[in-house]
Amino acid sequence: MKKVVLLFSLLCSLNLAFGQDKGTSNSLKFEIKGQIKGLGKSELYFSHYFGSTQQVIKDTAQVDDNGNFTISGTDELPKGLYFVNFSKNKLIDFVIGDPFFSFSTDTLDLIGNMKIVNSKENDAFFGFQKRMNELFAPLQKDRTLANNKQALDKIRTQVKDYQTTWLASNRDLFVSKIIGSSLDVDVPSNKKILLTKKDTLDNNRFQFAYYKSHYFDRIDLNDERMLRTPFLQKKLDKYFEDLVVQQADSIANDADRLLAKISQPDIRKYVIYKISNTYENSKIVGTEGAFVHMAEKYYINEPALWDTSTVRQLRDRIKIIKPLLIGKKFPEMYLTNQEGKLVTVNNLPGKYTLVFLYDPECSHCRQETPKLVAQKDYLKSKGVSVIAASIVREKDKWKKFIAEFKTNDFYNGIDIHKNQVTGKEEYYTDFLKTFDVYSTPVIYLLDAKKNIIVKRIGVEDIKPFLEYYEKRK
């Protein structure tokens, strides 16, 4: 497959400020002394989370024969959730709020034997983890309790009561925000007696609506320290995957409601980027409009958040894809057929039009074209006119491709036109800028009015989509 490199990975570089103040002297801005008994001479890594899928290494440390090491530096550490990574991906999480502290533990029980000195944040953090392990210990010792409703209910009650008490007593610590953001929404019943199927459905709708509207209640969306935890990204991913209807308007509306709650610049940039990146090249048909909405409203209309190059390049990108959204009229395409006659998409007959854009030498095109030709009888039965257009302006390669793959039952075209006055060849179509052909092959399926009903589907998806589309109508 030949590809034109997309710009978006460059456009959306966040350039997030991590709040680092460079030290003006050699005085230490942080120092963490640790001992992990049972860990021999080795090297470990000290990193912080950036979302749930990225980690940023801040330092390395050498461990001595007794498991002792020191992590220190003259630059301030941005606050957040960090981890010490050692021994084949074993790790221990720490809250960085107090820049000078020490700890000791051993490899037999990293959490249970943890001792913290000079850090309220981590003292509370490991106290929480120890107590949670104690509450769940009966399930670890006796697996049969998993099927004992009474025992499970008792443990759930104990866990919930402890979490509530712990959060209240540590509400002034950042660690309470971290733990709180990891907890799910408590969903009440609508308090109606469920007597009928309708009562149950109404209760389910109420609970879903409540869950969705309160989903972000437990996370501080304006505390930039949350960027350096896994929980902001996890919340965003689950919300847009499981709770938002995957249609462009619904995605845009939910994104607007969420971003109305966020004023902190770095978090705002991160959330805008995550949503935009999700829907720029989503595999879900029809959601690209959400990307256009995000780009126009939050990149182009909020230029202060972004560098000028990003805004300019993204504006150019939107100019290409906005006219090609689902439901839009397909831009006219002027081609010449094998007889030298003009062929236009708008003049093709049929209930549907399938536009197949290819490069005669593209290996993927050569794999997919026989699959398309094999469907010619089915497509004809559905009233589909197929136009196969070469994006390469070389007649010999184009004609050889037609003969080799037997596409004569389709309309075939190439963007080479003879000027009737000068006799010179002219080109009318910019396939990249007009039809967003950054890789090949590309398929557009149009209705009788030449409006786009689906695009960028695989050849094998044409029949299933048509069956689905006609049933839905």
397 is a domain residue: yes
d(CA 290, CA 305): 20
Number of domains in the chain: 1
Query: Is 80 exceeded by the pLDDT of residue 191?
Result: no
Q: What is the pLDDT of residues 449-470, one digit of tens each?
A: 999 999 999 999 999 999 999 9
d(CA 392, CA 404): 16
In this prediction, residue 394 has a pLDDT band, given cuts at 50, 70 and 90, of: very high
In this prediction, residue 49 has a pLDDT band, given cuts at 50, 70 and 90, of: very high
What angle separates helix 395-405 from helix 363-373, to the nearest 10 degrees? 40
How many Cα neighbours within 13 Å face the side chain of 218? Answer: 21
Q: What proportion of the chain, given as a percentage, has pLDDT over 70? A: 94
In this prediction, residue 26 has a pLDDT band, given cuts at 50, 70 and 90, of: low
24 is a domain residue: no
d(CA 68, CA 50): 27
Question: Quick check: helix, strand or coil at residue 187?
Answer: coil
In this prediction, residue 139 has a pLDDT band, given cuts at 50, 70 and 90, of: confident
374 is a domain residue: yes
d(CA 327, CA 451): 6
399 is a domain residue: yes
What separation in angstroms does the CA of 237 have from each of 175, 229, 312, 326? 22, 14, 28, 24
340 is a domain residue: yes
d(CA 215, CA 408): 56
d(CA 200, CA 198): 5
Q: What is the pLDDT of residues 289-343, one digit of tens each?
A: 999 999 999 999 999 999 999 999 999 999 999 999 999 999 999 999 999 999 9
392 is a domain residue: yes
User: 17-21, 191-195, 442-446 — which one is most confidently predicted on average?
Assistant: 442-446
- Judge contact between 386 and 418, C-beta under 8 A: no
275 is a domain residue: no
Q: What is the pLDDT of residues 256-300, one digit of tens each?
A: 999 999 999 999 999 999 999 999 988 888 899 999 999 999 999
Query: Is 50 exceeded by the pLDDT of residue 8?
Result: no
User: Which CATH number covers residue 359?
Assistant: 3.40.30.10
Q: What is the pLDDT of residues 150-160, one digit of tens each?
A: 888 899 999 99
Closest CA to 350 of 451, 444, 448: 448
User: What is the pLDDT, as a whole number, of residue 218?
Assistant: 95
Mean pLDDT score across all residues of the chain: 91
- Average pLDDT score over residue span 38-60: 94
Domain that holds residue 396: 334-472
Query: Is 60 exceeded by the pLDDT of residue 23?
Result: no
d(CA 155, CA 153): 5
DSSP annotation string for 193-206: ---SHHHHHHHHHH
In this prediction, residue 143 has a pLDDT band, given cuts at 50, 70 and 90, of: confident
Q: CA 257: distance to chain centroid?
A: 18
In this prediction, residue 400 has a pLDDT band, given cuts at 50, 70 and 90, of: very high
d(CA 113, CA 463): 61
- Total Cβ atoms within 10 A of residue 181: 21
- Average pLDDT score over residue span 25-36: 88
36 is a domain residue: no
